[in-house]
Amino acid sequence: MTTFAEPQAQVRPPEPRTGRTVLLPFIAFAAALYVIGYAGEAGPVWGLLIGLSTFGLFWWIKVTRSFVDGIVLVVASTISYSMFNVVVASREIGVTSGLAFRAALPIAIIGIAAGWVTQRNSGGTRVSTIVISASAWAGGAYVALLTAVAVGVLDRVRPGQTTTQLLTFGLFIAVGVASGILGATTNVSFWLGKATPLAVGGGALVTILAWNEIGFSAYEIWVKLLNIGDFLGEFWPPQFTWPKSLGQPSSFNMGKALIETFQIAIVGATVGCFVAAPLSFMASRPTAPNAAVYWISKSFLNLVRTIPDLFWAVFFATAVGFGKPFAGALAMIMFSLAIMAKLLSETVDAIDLGPLEAARAAGATHGQVIARAAFPQVLPNFIAYGLYVFELNIRASVVIGFVGAGGIGRLLDERRQFFRWDEVMAIVLVIFAVVLVIEAVSIYARRRIA
């Protein structure tokens, strides 16, 4: 009988630390900061507590269990918040963004300490951890302060008042939570070598700030929903005709405005797409004639893409005159150009380069290579994208009338300014129907081509 070898002692691997396993302690950490905020009376106390809870978090998720690290964190936080307090107290009138910056700087001291602790415990040797950690802690504080400035909370602070009297809770909580979330998630991300905690923490921070700024309230929505009948009455029944539009002959009705919208969309899509086609070939590596043309056209397209459709409309309305559909058409050309060029140049990037070489070997010029070997490869896509761009143009050209660029949008804006919500509703319904029909036709046609 054969004997089997003694089974080797198997070592179970430790459970890997993922973003998820550290998330729970983080929530507790944030809650702790919030609660502690009410206990703190002044800067140093608050700093002490921040240091303690940061160390608590680090202990919990096993970044460090050394008391030396704890002492470093607590001391650094206490110093840092004392300095913060001094800066905030030194203000004369409200808190300005310059003061916010100066106040946030000392928070970097905690960041340095926390960064040092993380990098010491993860075997890394780079100074950059400490630098990034410092900027994350200070950055969180700065953003929180900046939001406080933006919301206007700090404008009302009078010079004589002490920090503790007025600002303590709100300000310290905001700054502490913000810098704590951003800073600590950064540290832990470094320690894990994974970006998840930072992404979650950063996202949470932005959400909190945005929520405050916008004053978002589910309660308000709920109340409004309860009284939905009140404002539905304003919109219903829709009023499809009205006497005479301002500044227009009385014959200028919805049909005419709609036709204008269509015309704007057609001109925009046609010109935009046909200008975009050569540009896309110039902005794609395999078909660009040379590096200079490639970079110039690529940057140009990126720039055009950055600017929203409505800005183009304002821009051209200002340049060529308000209330002219011509301005709208120009805006739609830029809008179509941006979309078509983006879609098409991505397609061109993926074409088969063989035929291009064959054409070149047959003595073709660069233009001929593009026109006969490259363009036929993307022609079906070009047509499909063209239809899609036209569909988007109809939607967008509804909107650009708002800034005086013609079309049915102008009618909408005008009725809105008269608070004729029933007429607004009628226009909205017409737009809705047109958009749906165009979308259906475009989808059908695109399917036929593909």
The token duo for 177 is: 């939570």
Smallest gap from Cβ 194 to other proteins, in A, equals 7
> Candidates 35-43, 165-173, 278-286, 323-331 — which segment interacts with other proteins by CB under 8 A?
323-331
Applying CB under 8 A, does 431 fall inside the site for other proteins?
yes
The token duo for 409 is: 């949008």
Applying CB under 8 A, does 420 fall inside the site for other proteins?
no
Applying CB under 8 A, does 364 fall inside the site for other proteins?
yes
Smallest gap from Cβ 96 to other proteins, in A, equals 8
Exposed / middle / buried, residue 194 (Cβ in 10 Å: 0-12, 13-18, 19+): middle
- Residue from 90, 161, 162, 368 touching other proteins (CB under 8 A): that is 368
> Candidates 32-40, 79-87, 104-112, 362-370 — which segment interacts with other proteins by CB under 8 A?
362-370
Applying CB under 8 A, does 101 fall inside the site for other proteins?
no
Q: How many residues does the chain have?
A: 450
- Residue from 89, 105, 254, 428 touching other proteins (CB under 8 A): that is 428
- Residue from 137, 325, 393, 411 touching other proteins (CB under 8 A): that is 325
DSSP 4: P
Q: How many other β-carbons are positioned within 10 Å of the β-carbon of residue 138? A: 25
Q: Annotate 279-288 with b (16+ C-beta within 10 A) or e (fewer).
A: bbbbbbeebb
Spatial separation of the C-alpha atoms in residues 252 and 238, rounded to whole Å: 19
Applying CB under 8 A, does 411 fall inside the site for other proteins?
no
Near other proteins in 266-295, by CB under 8 A: 266-267, 270
Applying CB under 8 A, does 190 fall inside the site for other proteins?
yes
Measured in whole angstroms, how far is the alpha carbon of residue 68 from the centre of its chain? Answer: 41
Spatial separation of the C-alpha atoms in residues 394 and 335, rounded to whole Å: 12
Size of the site for other proteins (CB under 8 A): 111
Smallest gap from Cβ 26 to other proteins, in A, equals 18
Applying CB under 8 A, does 445 fall inside the site for other proteins?
no
Q: Among all chains, which residue has been given the structure tokens 């809008």?
A: 335
Applying CB under 8 A, does 178 fall inside the site for other proteins?
no
- Residue from 78, 85, 147, 245 touching other proteins (CB under 8 A): that is 147
Smallest gap from Cβ 303 to other proteins, in A, equals 7
Spatial separation of the C-alpha atoms in residues 25 and 374, rounded to whole Å: 56
Spatial separation of the C-alpha atoms in residues 40 and 85, rounded to whole Å: 12
Applying CB under 8 A, does 307 fall inside the site for other proteins?
yes
DSSP 362: T
- Residue from 48, 87, 288, 412 touching other proteins (CB under 8 A): that is 412
Near other proteins in 48-77, by CB under 8 A: none
Of 384, 288, 381, 303, residue with least CA distance to 338: 303
Near other proteins in 17-36, by CB under 8 A: 17-18
* Contact between residue 345 and residue 284 where contact means Cβ atoms under 8 Å apart: yes
- Which amino acid appears at position 232 of this protein? L
Q: Among all chains, which residue has been given the structure tokens 């049909």?
A: 255
Smallest gap from Cβ 193 to other proteins, in A, equals 3
Near other proteins in 194-253, by CB under 8 A: 194-195, 199, 206-207, 209-211, 213-217, 220-221, 224, 227-228, 231, 234-235
